[in-house]
Each structure stands twice: as C-alpha cells, then as structure tokens.
Amino acid sequence: MAAVNILETKGLTKTYGGLDANYNVDFTLKRGEIHALIGPNGAGKSTFVGMISGRIPATCGKVWFDGADVTRLPAHKRISLGIAYTFQITSVFGKLPVRENVALAVRRIRGRDRQAVRAKVDGVLERVGLTEQADQLAGDLSYGHQRVLEIAMGLAQNPELFILDEPTQGLALPEVEAFMQLVKDLRGETTILLIEHNMNVVMEVSDSLTVLNNGEVLARGTPEEIRANADVQAAYLGGA
C-alpha cells in the first residue's frame, strides 16, 4: 500500500545555538513528482534535506517517508527504505575505481549476487555516460564527471526518492544540459527533490517548487505561479 505522498514533514525545525536554520517547515511531496527547492543562500535548503535524509538530526518536528514515521531512524535506515542522497560538495570514493563506487551503491541492495551487481553497474554507467571511465579512479575524473558519478551512485540504488543537492553547481553548459535530459528521463521512475540555484534548470525540469527563505516556507506552486509571486521576487531581490 503506497502512500500518495512519498514525503511529508510537519513542524520540522533545526536550531543551531539559538538560531533557527529551519523553522516549522510543513512540506509534502507527491510520488513521481519532480520538485525543486529554491531560496537565497542560507535559506536552510541543505539543512532541510539533511533532516529528511537523516544526516542532520531535527531539533523538533516529524518526517514521514512513504507513510511511515522515520523521524527517529538513523540515516542509513532511511536510505535503505529508498531515499538516495547526493552531496552538495562532491563526495565520491576518490581512491576507488568508478565502477567500484557505483558497485558499493548497488551491493547494499543486491548483496552477494555478483552477476546482478555487475549488470546493474554496467547499466547505470551506460545510462549516465561513464562507461569509458569505468576503470579510472574516481579521484582522477574531471569535476563534471565526478558530479555525474554522484548521480550514478544515487540511481544505482533505484531510489523511491532521489535528493539532489545542487547537482549542477560548477558544471559547464553542455553538462548542465545533459543533466536536465537525465532528470527528464527519470520522470515516472522516481520522485526527485532538487535543490537548485540555476533558474533555467528549475523552470524547465520541475513540476512544482518550494521557496525557502530564512528557514521558513515562503511560497509553493508551479514554476509559473512562483515566477509571478511578488514575495519571491522581493526575497530574491533582497527588497523585502
């Protein structure tokens, strides 16, 4: 029995030494949607997805994933329920081959079945276009390829919810376009929660978006609605 909302939060709050990084965030995400999280620097976007994935413990509030309360689960348990997470700052196993990086992501699910692991790894590498680099050390890849590898490690887990923290940061234009194509291809396969600064990407790929400002939800809607929203414009222009 799958819940309609893959993800839901209520009153999610994170306080660092008296300052609220997130305050009372209520959030829902429908299964299958591509949702972008935008907001100025320091709006609390990374903190928010950190609390969803379990990297950052919430000060208070609750998180439901696929209808189940996961607030008290440690990160690795949430991941094994079907959340994949890519880091804002590239984090791969630099001294291991590209293939092994992806295999580590697959193996947690497929375990000892060497053939199945290999097939899945090959499939994922093919899909993101890293087949040629499969035997290089991840640390020797270009920055753009490392970001792609991060995405491959997420895909390899067949996630129900795929959290991407600024995936296009520092990418060149053709790489950004390849990324957008990949996200569009994933539509229907998984739910995507995307933190993104590049407005072209946001407007083109997302079904809906949420704007965070000062740790609180400022607005939520379709790209068109958000584009027309005066509050959002004020927050981005710094006028409010």
CB of 2 to another protein, least distance (A): 20
CB of 85 to another protein, least distance (A): 5
Dist. CA 138–CA 234, nearest whole Å: 42
Span near another protein by CB under 8 A; candidates 63-71, 87-95, 166-174, 185-193 = 87-95
Say if CB 153 and CB 85 are below 8 A apart. no
Q: Judged by CB under 8 A, which of 49, 103, 141, 195 binds another protein?
A: 103
Judged by CB under 8 A, does residue 93 bind another protein?
yes
Dist. CA 30–CA 197, nearest whole Å: 22
Q: Judged by CB under 8 A, which of 10, 31, 55, 197 binds another protein?
A: 55
- Provide CB contacts within 8 A for 16, sequence distance 6+: none
Say if CB 38 and CB 212 are below 8 A apart. yes
CA 221 to chain centre: 19
Judged by CB under 8 A, does residue 191 bind another protein?
no
CB of 77 to another protein, least distance (A): 8
Strands (E) across 97-190 are located at: 161-165
Judged by CB under 8 A, does residue 112 bind another protein?
yes
Q: How many residues sit in the footprint of another protein (CB under 8 A)?
A: 28
Judged by CB under 8 A, does residue 17 bind another protein?
yes
Instruction: Sketch the per residue contact string, 129 through 168, with another protein: x for CB under 8 A, - otherwise.
Output: ------------------------x---x-----------
Q: Judged by CB under 8 A, which of 96, 116, 134, 178 binds another protein?
A: 96
CB of 114 to another protein, least distance (A): 10
CA 115 to chain centre: 29
CA 87 to chain centre: 8
Q: Which residues pair with 13 in a beta bridge?
A: 60
Torsional sign, CA 74, 79, 85, 90: positive
Dist. CA 62–CA 40, nearest whole Å: 24
The site for another protein (CB under 8 A) is made up of 16-17, 53, 55, 74-77, 79-80, 85, 87, 91-96, 100, 103-105, 107-108, 111-112, 153, 157
